[in-house]
């Protein structure tokens, strides 16, 4: 690995933002004539499609997000890529797209990361290599129906923290908009869900908030998730409380599911996975909260604003002890400093 360390790109790794930077190779594979082709690496980061491609008209598109890390020992690893493969497979089925084979997905991730080792940030830099698999309809379609051709790609790019300032508390607001319809597509990782959240996101940022918190669209009484992350809470007894959706509208975050295992099996915490009423938040039942996802891992929530109501959670000074412990444990597993459950960390190089 010493040789690979010397070959790293000459970047200011510690100052990277969360933005796109073209790297050496992407991965591309096409689905034509009812089957996926061989697929492989490409140095071409552009996509050429017909003006009548299905993605442009009926939004047949889905994506994933995961990261490659440099461990303390110098290995390049990925965190639970099999779960990303599972989620993308299920999302594709829901959107009438041909699912990309799960084993081929994991192998493609390994292949594209190996081809871009010089772009994987060094251990201790706080940066990672973000991996973005994406699938979209390339086939021509004018009537409302699934396309007949698709493209699967994986791009990689080195990134810094998703939220500026790292693991310092953020302020979020309850959105007046709805994120997803009951029994709709809120539980899959489709681009159309994120398009729905853009206006709410822009307005939240303009008003000084880092993110939105969405309530269930059926009754607007239950906590669901943020625009780009799930939310978790800690109550006064120290129990980790994880919101569930009674209308199946919450994305099954891999980070959230991993944190539940970390809390219950490694840290010995009590964990409740249940519907959470926003009234519980208003009543001050929770002493800590955090947004969790691949990009941010955990971003502690200091306060939540709902119209004229400001609800202090843990305050804006520093992350609470439980969120800090959860974040440090999970990132420690990802970086190889802490031993995690078998199969979580997949060595690539």
Exposed / middle / buried, residue 7 (Cβ in 10 Å: 0-12, 13-18, 19+): exposed
Q: 3-class secondary structure for 67-97?
A: EEEECCCCCEEEECHHHHHHHHHHHHHHCCC
Helix 102-114, helix 81-94: angle, nearest 10:
130
Q: Residue 297: helix, strand or coil by DSSP?
A: strand
Catalytic residue among 9, 110, 145, 189: 189
Q: Residue 154: helix, strand or coil by DSSP?
A: strand
Distance, CA of 212 to CA of 305 (rounded, Å) = 9
What CA–CA distances, in Å, run from 238 to 235, 252, 342? 5, 23, 27
Diameter of the chain measured on Cα atoms: 58
Give the side-chain half-sphere CA count within 13 A for 181. Answer: 4
Sign of the dihedral defined by the CA atoms of residues 262, 117, 110, 348, in that order:
negative
Q: Is 189 among the residues known to form the active site?
A: yes
Distance, CA of 346 to CA of 113 (rounded, Å) = 12
Q: Which residues are catalytic?
A: 189
């Amino acid at each position: 690995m010493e040789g690979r360390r010397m070959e790293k790109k000459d970047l200011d790794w510690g100052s990277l933002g969360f933005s796109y930077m073209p790297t050496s190779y992407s991965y591309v594979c096409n689905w034509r004539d009812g089957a996926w082709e061989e697929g492989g690496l490409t140095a071409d980061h552009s996509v050429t499609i017909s003006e009548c491609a299905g993605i442009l008209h009926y939004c047949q598109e889905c994506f994933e997000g995961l990261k490659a890390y440099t461990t303390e020992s110098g290995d390049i690893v990925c965190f639970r890529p099999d779960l990303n493969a599972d989620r993308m497979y299920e999302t594709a089925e829901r959107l009438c797209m041909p699912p990309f084979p799960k084993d081929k997905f994991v192998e493609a991730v390994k292949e594209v990361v190996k081809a871009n080792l010089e772009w994987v940030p060094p251990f201790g830099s706080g940066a990672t290599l973000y991996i973005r698999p994406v699938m979209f309809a390339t086939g021509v379609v004018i009537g409302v129906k699934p396309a007949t051709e698709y493209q699967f790609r994986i791009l990689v790019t080195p990134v810094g923290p998703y939220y500026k300032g790292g693991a310092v508390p953020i302020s979020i607001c309850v959105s007046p908009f709805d994120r997803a319809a009951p029994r709709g597509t809120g539980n899959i990782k489709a681009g159309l869900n994120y398009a729905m959240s853009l206006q709410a996101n822009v307005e939240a940022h303009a008003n000084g908030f880092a993110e939105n918190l969405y309530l269930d669209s059926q009754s607007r009484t239950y906590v669901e998730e943020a625009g780009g992350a799930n939310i978790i809470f800690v109550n006064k007894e120290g129990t980790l409380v994880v919101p569930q959706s009674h209308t199946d509208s919450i994305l099954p975050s891999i980070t959230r599911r991993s944190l539940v295992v970390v809390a219950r099996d490694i840290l010995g915490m009590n964990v409740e996975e249940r519907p959470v009423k926003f009234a519980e938040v208003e009543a001050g039942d929770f002493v800590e909260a955090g947004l969790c996802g691949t990009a941010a891992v955990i971003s502690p929530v200091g306060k939540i604003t709902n119209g004229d109501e400001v609800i202090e959670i843990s305050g804006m000074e520093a992350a609470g002890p439980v969120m800090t412990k959860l974040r440090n444990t999970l990132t420690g597993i990802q970086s190889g400093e802490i031993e995690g459950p078998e199969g979580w960390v997949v060595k690539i190089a």
